[in-house]
Amino acid sequence: MSSKMSSKRQIKRSKEKRSQDKMDKAMNDVKKIGIISCCLIAVLIVIGIFINTEESYAAVVQELPEEFTSVMDPVTGDPEDPPMPADYAQYIEGVSTPKAFYGIDTSSSARLSNIYCMDRKLIMSGGRTYKKDKSVIDESLSVKYPGLIYIIEHGDTLPDNILNTKPSNEQSVLIYYINQIVVWWYLDIVNGYSSGPTDVGRDVPYDEPAAHQYENNLTVAEKTAIINDNTYGPYIAEVLTNAMAYNPGTTNPALDNIDTSTITYTMTDEYIETSPITVTSNAGTNFVNYTVSTSNNNIQILNESGVSQTTFSPNERFKLRIPVSEVKDYKINLQVSISGNFSVHNAYFYVDSKRPSEYQRALLGQILNDTTTDSVSLSYEIPTGEVIISKQNSETGEGVSGAVLSITDKSGKEVYRYETTGADIELTLPVGTYTITELTVPEGYSAEVTTKTFEITEGNITEVVITNTPNIEVPDTSSNSLLIYGIGSLIIIAGIVLIVVAKKPNNAKEK
């Protein structure tokens, strides 16, 4: 009984122990998850801190909106409230600009970029809807402003020595301030109120009611103050000088036609190669690079050094290498596609959509990466000529059959072999030097010359005559009388010997 009880208790205890273990394990897991989550959040926060730097509102955007809404600091909380007077910055004594003037997307309210006022005598205000007008270098403009493109493109920042004159929280204001001054002075130069960054120009009064009483954007006094400012004056002068000299290039870049008549071809046993081909465009320095392609994968696109390459900088030339196997009927026809990549620089006026005569024009810039593709047709016909080969009996001039002839080109490669039938044969061969060799002379003939060299010239017919000489039978024409002389000599010698022996005295017997 007691053993039963104790076993029941033991079972109960073990069950309780297992439950407790499970609980402990679950709590440990929760702790782990919590720690990992906190770490992840911390990491995200840190990343967010580093990424989420102060926004930079460049005046150059990839895609210009058709319209935007202007915003001028300080911004009121309620859009229905009337706009407050703008905050102004005055980093050069006597010269002030708004601290910020920018556009926001009309639909999404996302901030676009800084916008610069073009007409200081007119009103500038936030909450206005601006719509895109002409390019600053539009053909229809009597006066064009290419320098504005330069100013906009270089207006994202300032050199460090300029930027660091202000703490980081004022640097965006300084950027806007400097660039707005440059824009106004540039406009004064183009409109004839100043001749350059060292000329204070003249004041031309604007009689209408306005915050700025002059036609010129910067007054003589302001220009004087800028020139005399040692901190920002020199930089402003430098930017103005560059803007005055700036040429944005064409806004309609295109590849120039390639004069295919100047392309020459070099032929080897394995391939035909073009001379280096030059690609030019009307875009000047805005021509970034170009890419060459063909639909035939057997054709190699090479640089001038013969290394495979498909994208080239504007001052590089390319070559094409076509395998001989691509030649059909001594002709090759190629379609080569050349894609030119360009950067297009432009800036646009934006005007107030409702009262353009009362509000200042605004300025936004744009750099586009434009691509234009051109196709070049190349065709090449291997120059050929014809040869008529005649195998003749040298005596009668009649055709000889049964000779085996081989024709090789100058590299020794056999291009044709045949057995003569007595009739002439006519072949078309690429221009060059060839050798014809008689490999087999017909029975009953001899050949004094078994090889002959001939030249194929373009569009001409070359005649080659190979002759065989018929053999004639001849008897053995050697003759020799030495045998008779020899026999005669032997007989004479024998006679002399016999006579000498006969005349010899018999001395032993006489004794």
Partner 1 sequence: MQKKNKNIKSQLSKVGFFFLIVGILVFISTPLRKIKGEVFEEMRLAIFQQNINEENTTINDINTDNLQVTVESNKEAEENDKKTNYSYIGELSIPKIKLKRGFVSKNSKYNNIQYNIAIAKEASYPDKERGNFILMAHSGNAYISFFDKLYRLEIGDEATVSYKAKKYKYKLTKVYNQPKTGQVAIYRNPNVKTLTLITCTHNDDYNQTIYIFEEI
Nearest in space to 447 (alpha carbons), one of 403, 408, 410: 403
In whole angstroms, what is the distance from residue 439 CA to residue 417 CA?
A: 10
Dihedral angle, C-alpha 151, 152, 154, 160, nearest 10 °: 90
Q: Which residues bind partner 1 (CB under 8 A)?
A: 394-395, 397, 445-446, 448, 469-482, 484-485, 487-503, 506, 509
Nearest in space to 183 (alpha carbons), one of 56, 55, 362: 362
Q: How far is the CB of 508 from partner 1 (least distance, A)?
A: 11
Nearer CB in complex with partner 1: 5/482: 482
CB atoms within 10 A of CB 289: 14
Residue 93 to residues 46, 73, 198, 205, 228: CA-CA distances in angstroms?
41, 21, 18, 22, 10
Nearer CB in complex with partner 1: 390/408: 390
Nearer CB in complex with partner 1: 192/495: 495
Dihedral angle, C-alpha 74, 133, 58, 85, nearest 10 °: -10
DSSP collapsed to 3 states, 193-216? CCCCCCCCCCCCECCCCCCCCECC
Nearer CB in complex with partner 1: 110/494: 494
Amino acid at 103: G
CA 266 to chain centre: 24
Sign of the CA dihedral running 190, 101, 60, 363: negative
CA 411 to chain centre: 37
Q: How far is the CB of 501 from partner 1 (least distance, A)?
A: 6
Tokens of 297: 């994968």
Nearer CB in complex with partner 1: 55/448: 448
Nearer CB in complex with partner 1: 307/482: 482
Q: How far is the CB of 396 from partner 1 (least distance, A)?
A: 8
Q: How far is the CB of 506 from partner 1 (least distance, A)?
A: 6
Nearer CB in complex with partner 1: 167/505: 505
Residue 195 to residues 223, 225, 468: CA-CA distances in angstroms?
12, 17, 95
Q: Phi and psi (nearest 5°) for 488? A: -60, -45
